[in-house]
Structure 1
């Protein structure tokens, strides 16, 4: 079923009205969600009319319909990608079996854990970003922030539906808990540490949407391979929305770089202090933000070797990125993969069973994808005739999870002492002074078509609208 029924209290394409018990349970959860949105959603946004994209159906032709909507009136709901007739489990020990439409009893705990962890990241992003609208660099950017926020809210709905539908009382309790934890809360923080970090400014927001939402892309792709078909279909539709989040990050950083290069060329300056004096963000500061967000995000993939990841794969619950494009036996029992370790004072690679190193495999896939975008940013700098180049740091740099957390590693991959780290960290990661300077630039600009001084306009508008279109109307 591809069409979404917007006549119902909870829009959906899963025939919710035919399951009255589930419908009542979700309608009971809905007011709590709206209370959470009011308390923890975008600050000061209640009365704005926002040019938002809403799905009409889940086919490629109909999932994006645009119009001005007040965000509290946004029709969050439950949308699954179209079912694939005859779908099978494509990997692990159950390879070749029919995909599961109900939760296999032996996999209940692991599936619930996976869904809760993914679900917890969605409202966390909204909470991390809730104050950013007050310093938006343009009307266009404010709209993009709000689009991401409502979609993260809908992704929470996607996971809550699975919990209510397939996990009974335990699922209902987990769904309530998703609204009770809050990003950065001392007593009830979000599950993953990266989602307890503040997003203090728009440079951090663009880095987050480029790097951390890209982690979402890879995690959702791996879950979309799941033999549990409702999870697969849910994640496949979520991925259509995730692409916009990464676009906001990549294009946002590109526009920041573009504006900085314009100023550097116009005034013939390269010294960061002189660049800052012109009210734009110097390239070394952008590099330090990149180092921080890249390293924090690759920790999200978990430990280099993981018995849980092996168990999830063998059980057919979570595959690899683009599992079916890989030319192997999809069981991996005899496959090897190389991971990092320290030997004789150096970082070296060691072969281990691939099943135990699936986190590292997914991390490496992610890194290759991330590096491609950084190359596109460098082309902006190159086109301006400047010699500076952005680089992604070594994957062992600034790690806090796995064996690399015990090491100090420079951005170029050299093992260093604690003293060397302490002496150089301010050159590699954003300092308090860096963050204070970037924060000083964060002045709200809401007149359509106008931009803050530190960022260039986008090359095109949203949905073929003009740059100076009124994407957010203030009432």
Structure 2
């Protein structure tokens, strides 16, 4: 078992104490991190004791322990999966060579860019979720929010360690900048668009953790293939924690649907106005939230054709999702992939070099995975006898990046006129009225075992605790 040293000021399993210069640098960054947490972390939570899981090892069979902790005292740290001295690069132009323990000079700028971009998303989501604790639908949900927040903070630490250890002064400056940008800031925003969007309510939070944290899963899985071994080992452990974030999103929406279906059956109606009047979230509103979060998230994969994606792959910096399970040559020269383009107002497919289409490959893997979860949501409706089904919109719907940016596309995949888009946009994307209605439901419920009227209780509690366990102790 690869245990984590909790006697250190910064818990770690990377022998940080053997590199005093690095240790001092990270201990110098630590107070800035705590200041950032105090300034823009979960609002009003300083004195709460939260039933959190803390990583105590990187052994998959017993890696976490649970207990009540003040979040400000949470032991953020640096945890890498165990290394393999014989690990080889298994894709790209360096296939078959030994994995790198240090950054090759020619790949320094690209690796730094990859690490900074990933690192920037971690504090961004904490900032986006800052106010949600004030409107939690239950103590159980409040605890889940806080667990996600501290783990996003730890993922920031993971990226900052790589920057400090492997990128010298440039890395230290980038680590400082990660705490200086702020989600939604007009002058100094976060790097990626989805991480500057507001997360105004818990329906948005569940959609974000289902879709946008799933983007994180696919990006981290691609980086876990990297020829740069410290990055691969770091992201593999991050994936262990990321799974809970997606669970919160998927189970959260399932519980919203369960409650909505119960109200529809009780009232014997599918009229959105009557469902809303009964204090539940109507299915058309849930679909519009889904359309928005899905379309914003698939933009995170970047342009459908990208020379940077080709460079990252051929250089061995970033692989594909589950690279080792693919049956091709893992070099991809001469191979092609279909992408969409618009010709004379109509969508059509065209073949392009696969190396240039790797963003699209990852996006399509994400879409397949996302649709499976939406299918599980539909099972909730089916079991309740509700005929409506949720669906992910067409890949070209509401896109802002790449060849499909700005195309007026209906969710079911029709290119529409500007006039039709304008007339029907309120059917397809959340409106100010939707946000106002959902906000009106967001009263805080934090008595153990009690839940807001718009969401069903979970089937079971955290870590085999009862649903009415005291997950948060308010100081």
Show the counterpart of 2:105: 105
Pairwise mapping of residues 267-278 of structure 1 onto structure 2 (< 5 A)?
267-278=267-278
Tell me, yes or no, if structure 1 residue 214 matches structure 2 residue 233: no
Show the counterpart of 2:86: 86
Question: How far is 1:407 from its partner?
Answer: 1.2
Question: How far is 1:267 from its partner?
Answer: 1.5
Question: How far is 1:329 from its partner?
Answer: 0.4
Tell me, yes or no, if structure 1 residue 418 matches structure 2 residue 415: no
In 2, Cα distance between equivalents of 1:406 and 1:46: 43
Show the counterpart of 2:331: 331
Show the counterpart of 1:144: 144
Show the counterpart of 1:191: 191
Show the counterpart of 1:470: 470
Tell me, yes or no, if structure 1 residue 296 matches structure 2 residue 288: no
**Deviation by residue 1:415-467 (Cα, 9 ceiling, x = unmatched):** 11111100000000000000000000000000000000000000000000000
In 2, Cα distance between equivalents of 1:360 and 1:297: 13
RMSD: 0.7
Question: How far is 1:84 from its partner?
Answer: 2.3
| TM-score, normalisation: structure 1 | 0.99
Show the counterpart of 1:174: 174
Show the counterpart of 2:287: 287
**Deviation by residue 1:168-200 (Cα, 9 ceiling, x = unmatched):** 000000000000000011111000011001100
Query: Which secondary structure state, in structure 2, belongs to the residue aligned with residue 403 of structure 1?
Result: coil
Query: Which secondary structure state, in structure 1, belongs to the residue aligned with residue 211 of structure 2?
Result: helix
Pairwise mapping of residues 29-428 of structure 1 onto structure 2 (< 5 A)?
29-428=29-428
Contact 1:55–1:62 (CA<8 Å) still a contact in 2?
Answer: no
Query: Which secondary structure state, in structure 2, belongs to the residue aligned with residue 180 of structure 1?
Result: coil
Q: Which runs of 5+ in 1 are unaligned?
A: none
In 1, Cα distance between equivalents of 2:446 and 2:144: 13
Contact 1:339–1:350 (CA<8 Å) still a contact in 2?
Answer: yes
Contact 2:398–2:406 (CA<8 Å) still a contact in 1?
Answer: no
Contact 1:99–1:229 (CA<8 Å) still a contact in 2?
Answer: yes
Show the counterpart of 1:22: 22
**Deviation by residue 1:10-51 (Cα, 9 ceiling, x = unmatched):** 000000000000000000000000000000100000000100
In 2, Cα distance between equivalents of 1:138 and 1:218: 30
Query: Which secondary structure state, in structure 2, belongs to the residue aligned with residue 342 of structure 1?
Result: strand
In 1, Cα distance between equivalents of 2:406 and 2:240: 38
Query: Which secondary structure state, in structure 2, belongs to the residue aligned with residue 317 of structure 1?
Result: coil
After the TM superposition, which of the residue ranges 462-471 and 83-92 deviates more from structure 2?
83-92
Question: How far is 1:260 from its partner?
Answer: 0.4
- Runs (4+) off by over 3 Å: none
Question: How far is 1:406 from its partner?
Answer: 3.2
Show the counterpart of 1:10: 10
Question: How far is 1:353 from its partner?
Answer: 0.4
In 2, Cα distance between equivalents of 1:402 and 1:360: 10
In 2, Cα distance between equivalents of 1:342 and 1:204: 31
In 2, Cα distance between equivalents of 1:414 and 1:21: 59
Show the counterpart of 1:458: 458
After the TM superposition, which of the residue ranges 272-281 and 79-88 deviates more from structure 2?
79-88
Contact 1:394–1:413 (CA<8 Å) still a contact in 2?
Answer: yes
Question: How far is 1:403 from its partner?
Answer: 1.1
| TM-score, normalisation: structure 2 | 0.99
In 1, Cα distance between equivalents of 2:345 and 2:303: 21
In 2, Cα distance between equivalents of 1:276 and 1:445: 19
In 1, Cα distance between equivalents of 2:387 and 2:4: 51
Question: How far is 1:334 from its partner?
Answer: 1.3
In 1, Cα distance between equivalents of 2:355 and 2:148: 34
Query: Which secondary structure state, in structure 1, belongs to the residue aligned with residue 179 of structure 2?
Result: helix
**Matched residue count:** 475
Question: How far is 1:2 from its partner?
Answer: 1.4
In 1, Cα distance between equivalents of 2:406 and 2:203: 29
Question: How far is 1:139 from its partner?
Answer: 0.2
